[in-house]
Amino acid sequence: MGFLDQIYRDAVLEHARSPRNRGELDPYSVKQEGINPSCGDELVLYLQIRDGTVEDARFSGHGCAISQASASMMTQAIKGKPLAEVETLIGRFKAMIHGRGVDPSLGDLVVLEGISKLHARVKCATLSWVTLQAALAAEASGERVGQVTVDADGGETDGTQPTLEERSSDSS
Ligand code: ZN
């Protein structure tokens, strides 16, 4: 077992046991629901955005250890960051989780790189990031509530294209 694999296991278990930033925000700038049907993970992400910065981020919902740990780490990574930096982070995290290797600029998030080899779990790890991306898009277009589904039929790693189909839902 590689060094990162051990760190990964410890970090995921630790974050899943005591998730950071778990809860709800009220008021919030945007509230985004994210669903991963292939595993049953359901996430609700709350963001407070002010002056182009993510002032606060919280999440609620339920799901497997990987989805919970990923959301916990993600909220930690984006709190206090300018939106432009958060967008960069989303792109880098997705590239790493889709098999492009460890990206040291991701800091603590590199422990999740091992998930790129566990194809069935990639969507669990990306759920929070897909939800974040949808939340930022919703906020930019003046919406306060949204929902996004990680497509159950999405392919696996295929090079440069993101393998998750993201779509908005207005089924309310
Ligand atoms: Zn899951």
Give the SS3 label for residue 49.
Answer: strand
Residue 89 domain flag: yes
Give the chain's domain count: 1
Range of the domain at 80: 3-150
Residue 96 domain flag: yes
Q: pLDDT, tens digit, for every residue of 126-162?
A: 999 999 999 999 999 999 999 999 975 444 333 333 4
Residue 160 domain flag: no
Residue 44 domain flag: yes
Residue 92: name the closest of 82, 78, 102, 83 by CA. 102
The protein residues having their C-beta less than 5 angstroms from ligand 1 (an ion) are: 39, 41, 64, 67, 124
pLDDT of residue 151: 77
Other beta carbons less than 10 A from residue 60's beta carbon: 17
> Judging by beta carbons within 10 Å of its beta carbon (0-12, 13-18, 19+), is residue 83 exposed, middle or buried?
middle
At residue 42, what is the residue type?
A: E
Residue 157 domain flag: no
pLDDT of residue 157: 36
The CATH number for 21's domain is 3.90.1010.10
Q: How far is the CA of 67 from the centre of ligand 1 (A)?
A: 5
Q: pLDDT, tens digit, for every residue of 59-94?
A: 999 999 999 999 999 999 999 999 999 999 999 999
Residue 156 domain flag: no
DSSP at 61: E
Give dist(CA 60, CA 32) in Å, integer.
10
Q: How far is the CA of 57 from the centre of ligand 1 (A)?
A: 21
Residue 31: name the closest of 112, 147, 156 by CA. 147
Residue 132: name the closest of 120, 116, 150, 119 by CA. 150
Residue 171 domain flag: no
Residue 170 domain flag: no
